[in-house]
Amino acid sequence: MSAQAAFVCLPVSPADLEDLCEIRVQAMQPSLARLGRFDDARARQRFRDQFQPAFTWLISVNDTRAGFYCLIRQDKAFYLQNLYLLPAMSGQGLGSAVLQSILAQADSAGLPVHLEVLIESDAARFYERHGFAKLREDGVDLYYQRAAAVLQP
């Protein structure tokens, strides 16, 4: 898959919960296992506890589930709660293309995007490459922000 390949983002429903749990676990497992922190049951339960179908979008490529994201618009920012791709879809530009689409939405609203990632996860480098700046860390997570771009009239 190249960054130019077509993807669509489709709304999800509560019925998609277990499929999305599986995508999350497959996406997180390599990074968390490397850090000695992978717990399959805990990863699934944490997602079940925070699942918000109204803000969650399935990423589909060629009618195949490739990943998902959860983007919540708050008063003064967007919060990117999740962005996960199946391992087979990683490293091919899809994550960057999806993130650029999310950032374009935030830019058109004139709002920054906030997110958090586990310290030492591969995701930290991904977001830094896309203009996110670290705001703080708490010993477990890194907290990032990407300021809204100034759109030219």
pLDDT category of residue 74 using cuts at 50, 70 and 90: very high
Residue 2 has pLDDT above 70, yes or no: no
Q: Quick one: tokens of 31?
A: 């990074």
Contact 106, 78 (CB under 8 A): yes
3-class state of residue 85 by DSSP: strand
pLDDT category of residue 1 using cuts at 50, 70 and 90: very low
Top CATH class, 8-146 = alpha beta
Question: Which position has the token pair 């830094």?
Answer: 128
pTM: 0.90
Residue 153 has pLDDT above 80, yes or no: no
pLDDT tens digits, one per residue of 96-109: 999 999 999 999 99
**Residue 78 forms beta bridges with which residues?**
73, 113
Contact 130, 103 (CB under 8 A): yes
Q: Quick one: tokens of 15?
A: 């019925």
Which pLDDT does position 45 carry in this prediction? 92
